[in-house]
Chain A
Amino acid sequence: MTKPEKLIENGIRLDGRKPDELRPIKIKVGVLNRADGSCYFEFGGNKVIAAVYGPREVHPRHMQKSTSAVVRYRYNMASFSVEERKRPGPDRRSIEVSKVSREALEPVIFQEYFPRSAIDIFVEVLQADAGTRTAGINAASIALADAGIPMKSLVSACAAGKIDDTVVLDLNKDEDNYGQADMPIAMTPEGNITLLQMDGHLTRDEFGEAFELAKNGCKAIYELQRAALMEKYASQMEGDVIE
Chain B
Amino acid sequence: MSLSNEVMTELRKDYIYNLMVKGEREDGRAFDQYREITIETNVINKAEGSARVHLGDTDLVVGVKIQPGTPFPDTPDMGVIITNLELIPLASPVFEAGPPREDAIELARVVDRGVRESGAVDLSKLCITPGEKVWMVFIDVHVLDDGGNIMDAASLGAVAALLTSKLPNKRYDLGEDANVPMRDVPVAVTAVEIGGSIMLDPSQDEESIAGTKLTVTSNQNGAISAMQKSGVHPLTTEQINYIVDIAIEKAKEIREKFLVI
Contacts and interface: CB of A to CB of B under 8 A. Distances in A.
B150 to A, nearest CB: 16
Interface string B94-109: 0000000011011011
Given A98-B102, A201-B117, A188 B234 contact: yes
Interface residues of A, number: 30
A106 B113 CA distance: 25
B234 A200 contact: no
B240 A211 contact: yes
11 contacts: A95-B102, A99-B106, A103-B229, A103-B230, A107-B232, A188-B234, A191-B237, A193-B237, A201-B223, A207-B224, A207-B244
Nearest to A212: B237
A94 B241 CA distance: 28
Interface of A: 92-93, 95-96, 98-100, 103, 106-107, 183, 188, 191-204, 207-208, 211, 215
A93 to B, nearest CB: 8
B225 interface: yes
Contacts of A197: 227-229
B180 to A, nearest CB: 20
Given A106-B232, A211-B237, A199 B226 contact: yes
Contacts of B103: 99
| Chain B binding surface SS class | mixed
B234 A193 contact: yes
A197 B235 CA distance: 13
B143 interface: no
Given A107-B234, A211-B237, 18 more contacts: A93-B109, A95-B102, A96-B102, A96-B105, A100-B228, A103-B232, A107-B233, A188-B234, A191-B236, A196-B235, A196-B240, A197-B229, A198-B226, A200-B225, A202-B224, A203-B222, A203-B223, A204-B244
Nearest to A91: B105
B214 interface: yes
A207 B222 CA distance: 12
Contact of B229 (A188, A193, A208): A193
Contacts of A193: 229, 234-237, 240
Contact of A196 (B105, B119, B222, B227): B227
A198 B224 contact: yes
Nearest to B218: A204
Interface string B27-67: 00000000000000000000000000000000000000000
B227 A195 contact: no
A81 B115 CA distance: 29
Contacts of B194: none
Interface in B221-261: 222-237, 240-241, 244-245, 248
